[in-house]
A and B are shown apart, each in its own frame.
Chain A
Amino acid sequence: MWTRESGGLVLTFHLAGINNQNFLMRDDQTGSYWQQITGEAVSGPLRGRRLTLVASDELSFGLWAAEEPGGTVLKSVPKYASDYEKKDWEVKMKKERTVLSFADPARGLEPRTLLLGIQALGASRAFPYDAVIQEKLVLDRVGAEPVLLVVGPDGESVRVFRDRIPGIDGHPSFYRMLDDKQSHPHDAGWLKQASAAPLLMDEATGSEWNFQGCAVSGKASGLCLESVAAVKDYWFDWRNYNPKTTVYIRRP
């Protein structure tokens, strides 16, 4: 997700082409072409400019609705709604061929392995999505910076934060305190309670933290961790645009 301002103009984008299965957008105002995954203009008068990334999350609708009861949702377009992707579309997409591969069987990376890609803090790192979902809490580094990836109470949403408590020295050393076996991931009432409830605790301050990355009790109460933007992507696409990426390997 990007801001759509550049060169003093508010731009309106259209999908206008494909570059190795990552799409190109054209803006109406200048006719420049922009790469979707990088936000960079690759052709036209604004060539070389970059859009600013807007922090966004990929969450289950149930969890998001519990967190943001006053939020609004993109309405489906009636004449196209029957053609929208079906529930199992990610399973089908895994079978679609790719024009690039970068397969790395030794690390369990197929072209369409889903991952969370982080391009921030001076480095890029990929986290296989299934590994994150299974581990529930991943403590790792992007470049030199410690980060944590947390799976939400619904068991399918993931958020990424810097592993530092603002204003407090030392390493927080987070651990997960939610009993995931008791979750009811799609029950609206339970999700409303779970979305605000503590999910993590840190050893440095003894504080409890919820899925929004905010401390709800303890010494750090009222503080929030800094979000880190992550993109859900396929390995072939991520690797193509992040040739120096490193990959998180799940601990045995």
Chain B
Amino acid sequence: MKRSSCSTVAYPWFLIPIVVVSFAALVYPIYVIRPFRLQRPRELAAALAIIQIRPPIELACAACALGGLLWYWRAQPLLSRRRLAAAGAFLVCTLAVLSRVNVFELMFHPDTHPLFVPIQQAKVDPDDMVLAVKLDGMARAYPIRSMGYHHVINDVVGQEPIVATY
């Protein structure tokens, strides 16, 4: 009985730092790397480092939250508290899933399967500017008005894998 009450008290205190770590690992990089904000070198390096180490951290947080919940569920007689604890563990799992999504990759609508057409079929005005490249005798143009929207095009021109950026 004494052991059960100890565990029921301990779980919320166990869960709070897990939620904080999980939330911070998700939100700090988004906060730092958002558009129209000055990115200072140290905070940018920290944000990118967090992104690199985040997957195992989020996974460990989710595993701890779920493992703790299992223990708490057995020990805690009150259903309402069990549900509250389950909501906390669910939150940590949701943060772990969201950490796998890069909001910028969604925001800028990548052209993941670029298609190319002959000049005669291109709907580009003569005075529109294009990024032009010629490799292995093959000439390719990327209209600036498209590139200003997609920004990144992975391509192979001739035998050369290149990335056009704007």
Contacts and interface: CB of A to CB of B under 8 A. Distances in A.
Interface of A: 1-5, 10-21, 23-26, 31, 33, 36, 42-44, 51, 54-62, 64-65, 67-77, 80, 83-87, 89, 97, 99-100, 154, 156-157, 185-186, 188, 191
Contact of B163 (A2, A65, A74): A2
Contact of A186 (B49, B127, B154): B127
Given A57-B131, A69-B119, A80-B111, 15 more contacts: A1-B162, A16-B104, A17-B102, A19-B33, A23-B151, A42-B44, A55-B133, A59-B130, A65-B126, A65-B141, A68-B141, A71-B132, A73-B141, A74-B147, A84-B145
Contacts of A72: 116-119, 138-141
A20 B154 CA distance: 23
Of residues A4, A15, A186, which shows the largest number of chain B Cβ atoms within 10 Å of its Cβ? A15
Interface in B29-82: 29, 33-39, 44-45, 48-49, 51-52
B110 to A, nearest CB: 6
B38 A75 contact: no
A71 B117 CA distance: 9
A196 B33 CA distance: 46
Contact of A1 (B105, B109, B163): B163
A75 B125 CA distance: 13
B86 interface: no
Given A3-B161, A89-B145, A58 B134 contact: no
Contacts of B140: 71-74
B16 to A, nearest CB: 29
Contacts of B38: 20, 99-100
